[in-house]
Amino acid sequence: MPGSDEVEEPVLLLRQGAVLTVTLNRPRSKNAMTEEAWALLGETLRAARADDSVRVVVVTGAGGDFCAGADLKGARSQRHPLVRMHRLSDVALALHEMPKPVIARVEGVAVGAGWNLALGCDLVVASTTARFSQIFPRRGLSVDFGGTWLLPRIVGLQQAKRLALLADFVGADEALRLGLVTWVKTPEQIGTFVDGLAARLADGPPVAMAQSKHMLNEATSQTLREALEAESRAQVVNFATDAPAAVQAFLEGTEPHFEGRWQLRPASPPSEAGTGC
């Protein structure tokens, strides 16, 4: 029927300057995602990664909910279930490997893979209306979309097991206390807050922030020596990218403008006279 999830685009895109807002758009099913919708989200994330004009991605849901996970009522392809799961995992990897900051704006329900989609973002802004659950056991399923990797790193092993095994619903305040969200805002505040946060991130040095994000993601599996070496290599890149603009702005008492461009000029080719030929 007109206006149903079946005829709406399952993922909507809105560009505002350097900020790309990705809206999950199946509101009649609390934005539960079909295979087609997950695939489209993955394509969108990979396209955003390749687009240098996009500096920040915001992920949100339509109709007052974030995402109810996978649509268990939706049609399934005839592919082997393991192939289908690998395709879902590819979306989680596209999110995790996104070098640009990703903000989850969460209102209403965020459960199952939908909650892990939010947890896979770099920053999570939750409305006071938000409700979270690793709902998998209630569906006879185990955790997916990276939840087994994300949860212990955020809340520790015992709390991760509590959330994953009992499928308790967690409100915004408890999620904040556990470190599962970064900020909690009222429904009236959340839009303005996310817009301001995205603008701040879009003004930052893109290459330096991408390197910081990558190093933080990798740090839990590294020794201190390995982390320090990665930091040193990253700073060398920054010295020839946006750091000169920041130093110049500091000396002039102005705000820096970061372009994320390599500043070193390639060496000029040797003249014919100097080649020894």
Domains 11-202 and 206-252 share a fold: no
Q: Which CATH class is domain 206-252?
A: mainly alpha
Look at residue 6 in the predicted model and tell me its pLDDT.
Answer: 53
Q: What is the pLDDT of residue 186?
A: 98
For Cα atoms 254, 257, 258, give the angle at the middle one, nearest 5 degrees.
140
Residue 230 tokens, joined: 């990665």
Residue 264 or residue 141, greater confidence: 141
Q: Which CATH number fits domain 11-202: 3.90.226.10, 3.30.70.100, 3.30.2090.10, 1.10.150.20?
A: 3.90.226.10
Instruction: Give the model confidence (pLDDT) of 167-200 as tens digits.
Output: 999 999 999 999 999 999 999 999 999 999 999 9
Beta bridge partners of 262: none
Of these ranges, 86-90, 106-110, 232-236, the one predicted with the greatest mean pLDDT is: 106-110
* Contact between 102 and 201 (Cβ < 8 Å): no
Q: Which two tokens stand for residue 28?
A: 């009649």
Average pLDDT of 59-75? 91
Q: Model-level pTM? A: 0.88
% of the chain surpassing 70 pLDDT? 92
Domain ranges of the chain: 11-202, 206-252
Judged by DSSP in three states, 111 sits in strand
Q: What is the pLDDT of residues 225-237, one digit of tens each?
A: 888 888 898 888 9
Beta bridge partners of 24: 11, 61
Q: Round to the nearest angstrom and report the end-to-end CA distance of the chain.
A: 77
Query: What are the tens digits of pLDDT across the range 31-49?
Result: 999 999 999 999 999 999 9
Q: What residue has token string 């939908």?
A: 114
